[in-house]
Amino acid sequence: MNTIKINPFSPHALVHPGVFQGRDNEISIIEGYLYQTKSGTPQHFIIDGERGIGKSSLFFLLTHIANGSIPYHGQDTFNFLTINTELSVNDTEISIIEKLYKELESLIALDEGLKLKANKFWDFIKTIEVLGCRIHNEKTEPDFAEALTQLVNTIQYLIQDLDETIDGIIFLIDEADRPNIEANLGEFCKLFTEKLIKRNCSNVCIGLAGQKSLRKKLQDSHLSAPRIFAIHSLLPLSPEETIRVIDAGLESATGKNKFEIKITDHAKQILAEMSEGYPHFIQQFAFSAFQADTNNCIDVEDVMSGVFSKGGALDQLGEIIFKEQYFDNIKSDDYRKVLDFMAESQENWVTRKDIINSGIKEKTVDNALSALRSRGIIVPNHKVKGKYKLPTKSFAVWIRALRFQTT
Ligand SMILES: Nc1ncnc2c1ncn2[C@@H]1O[C@H](COP(=O)(O)OP(=O)(O)OP(=O)(O)O)[C@@H](O)[C@H]1O
Ligand SMILES: [Mg+2]
């Protein structure tokens, strides 16, 4: 009989620190940045990478490390005031400042200890019409320079109030690639960090997370903005880390369900192979295999049924990300063959000749390349003419997983 069980895998949510695996190098480096920030020489940073690679989950873990709920280097604890926010396409240069300010204000308001100590901070925001809807009165246009100055003033008072209590302030800004260029995030970061230093608020650090386009957006907003940041790009997890995600998930399921849910080695290996280290894929494939299991031992059959059944893992991933590119926008099976060939070529650029050599007719290849390129389903190599690849590695992994059943 199929008992109802708590599924530990979370394809649509941030991973809980207990189930989080890998990223040891990034964590250790960023712990170093936090340590530097504590001592007054902050190192701002960017975490970038493809969709679903684990940027927000890493930020979630860093929040715990920065605010002291998880020790750093497994020993001491930091005590930073840690502000989390996400940006959106609708953000403007004023709304970004508002978001940071509001998060800061509510964090202080919610912590009784800090709230009592933050006297100058409260006095200051009482005396000026600071930010949020109060940033401008009805008669005046919101002013970026004014808003920025007020944010810096607020932080300065807060640091004076809490100097003895906190290590500093960390701003973790997720989805930083989303606002339009007009939101001027690069300029904000440049001016904000410079003003803070001038005011002796040198224990404040900014971390941004977003897709690869973030660097270019920062640069377009202010030429030297990317230089403020150390940039770390997230890559897929290693096979060992992938296996650990599955093991940690099942261990937590056993704890929560109060009975053991096992997995065969072969099933684990297939989950790891198909997901190729993409955390979103691992969570989705493991979630679906867990759902398909009926005897509390996940085997290869459960994995296959979870991944390939209607509404299963591949459908889920397809619905969210790839289906449009692979099925809806392409009416010809021959064009799909071109994509399949590119998916097999890993991350390498392929030439028109490579594709023709794989057995697809010349004319079809020419038509496919032109159609796929114009729809942004493949990208051309701007340095070497006539070379193409899929826009992301995860798209290739999804196509390969789709074909896994038939191989
Ligand atoms: N280190 C990890 N260990 C285990 N699971 C992870 C890890 N990182 C991310 N995940 C899982 O992978 C999925 C995607 O993670 P997350 O949302 O953090 O990615 P993201 O890069 O922020 O994606 P997006 O670009 O869509 O915002 C989530 O289900 C999360 O639980
Ligand atoms: Mg995210």
> Does the CB atom of residue 286 touch ligand 1 within 6 A?
no
Phi, psi of 163 (to 5 degrees): -50, -45
The pTM is what?
0.88
Provide the phi-psi class of 111: left if phi over 0, else alpha when psi is between -120 and 50, else beta. beta
Percentage of the chain lying above the pLDDT 90 cut:
66
Quick check: helix, strand or coil at residue 387?
Answer: strand
Query: Does domain 24-233 bear CATH number 3.40.50.300?
Result: yes
User: Ligand 2 centre and the CA of 81: distance in Å?
Assistant: 21
Atom of ligand 1 at shortest range from CA of 210: 25
Query: Helices (DSSP H) in 318-375: which residue ranges?
Result: 323, 333-344, 352-357, 362-374
Separation of alpha carbons 113 and 223, rounded Å: 41
Q: How confident is the model at residue 161 (pLDDT cuts 50, 70, 90)?
A: very high
Separation of alpha carbons 179 and 90, rounded Å: 6
Using only C-alpha atoms, the chain has a radius of gyration, in whole angstroms, of 24
pLDDT tens for each residue of 96-154: 999 999 999 999 999 999 999 998 888 887 776 545 444 445 556 678 898 899 999 99
Separation of alpha carbons 213 and 217, rounded Å: 6
CATH class of 315-404: mainly alpha
| Pocket perturbation via mutation, ligand 1, pick of 30, 48, 53, 57 by most ligand atoms within 8 A of CB | 57
Separation of alpha carbons 226 and 208, rounded Å: 11
pLDDT tens for each residue of 222-235: 898 889 999 999 99
Separation of alpha carbons 25 and 46, rounded Å: 14
User: In this structure, which residues have their CB less than 5 angstroms from ion ligand 2?
Assistant: 55-56
CATH class of 239-309: mainly alpha
User: Ligand 1 centre and the CA of 157: distance in Å?
Assistant: 36
- pLDDT for 184 beyond 90: yes
User: Ligand 1 centre and the CA of 242: distance in Å?
Assistant: 12
Separation of alpha carbons 263 and 344, rounded Å: 29
pLDDT tens for each residue of 254-308: 999 999 999 999 999 999 988 889 999 999 999 999 999 999 999 999 999 998 8
> Does the CB atom of residue 56 touch ligand 1 within 6 A?
yes
Inter-helix orientation angle 265-275/300-308, to 10°: 30
> Does the CB atom of residue 249 touch ligand 1 within 6 A?
no
Q: Which helix (H) or strand (E) holds 209?
A: strand 204-210
Q: Where are the domains of the chain?
A: 24-233, 239-309, 315-404
48-79 CB burial, b ≥16 within 10 A, e <16: bbbebbbbbbbbbbbbbbbbbebebeeeeebe
pLDDT average, residue stretch 1-25: 85
